[in-house]
Amino acid sequence: MNKNSKKSNAILSIIVLVIVAALFSTILLQGVKVKENDDRISISGGLFYSEKIAYSDIKDIELRDVIIYGNRVNGASLLKYRLGNFQNAEFGTYKLFVDIGIGKVIVLKYEKNTIVFNFKDLSETNSLYNRLLEKSKLNN
């Protein structure tokens, strides 16, 4: 291999590493995002996982201190985030969008599905739970 080929390969390797690092950072830094609309909530994690749920489709909602995540079917367990499709004995296969440092999670059951998530910090997770109770009309 000549000097120019070695230099080109080194530059290409650096470019690929920078792109991979940027994508990985984007996934990590995005974390769990929640958007509340008039008729539904949208929950996303990373670049690849999202769910939109109409308030009228919510069948049950709980605020919990502890949950056994179970096994990852597909998704990511990155540093402090657990994102994607998981499976456990309680819910079967379910969607998980959790920052494990927050301590509490919202367990939301809709149609025949379950999603477990939290939001920003403990206070925001508690507030979101209360708003979801009101919007889903399950607080009556």
Lowest mean pLDDT among 21-30, 59-68, 78-87, 123-132: 21-30
Please report, rounded to a whole number, the percentage of residues in the chain having pLDDT higher than 90: 49
> How close are the terminal C-alpha atoms of the chain, in Å?
75
Q: What is the mean pLDDT of the chain?
A: 86
Per-residue pLDDT at 44 exceeds 90 = no
Q: How far apart are CA 28 and CA 132, in angstroms?
A: 26
Say how far residue 17 (Cα) sits from the centre of its chain: 25
Buried b / exposed e across 39-56, counting CB within 10 Å, b at 16+?
ebbebbbbeebebebebe
Average pLDDT (10-38) is 78
Contact call for residues 61 and 108 (beta carbons, < 8 A): yes
- Which amino acid, 38? D
**Residues 59-98, buried b or exposed e (16+ Cβ, 10 A)?**
eebebeeebebbeeeebbeeeebbbbebebeebeebbbbb
Strand, coil or helix: 66:
coil
Contact 38, 95 (CB under 8 A): no
Q: Is the pLDDT of residue 7 over 90?
A: no
Higher local confidence (pLDDT), 67 or 92? 92
CA dihedral 119, 79, 83, 93 (to 10 degrees): -120
Taking the complete model, does pTM exceed 0.75, yes or no? yes
| H or E element at residue 8 | helix 3-30
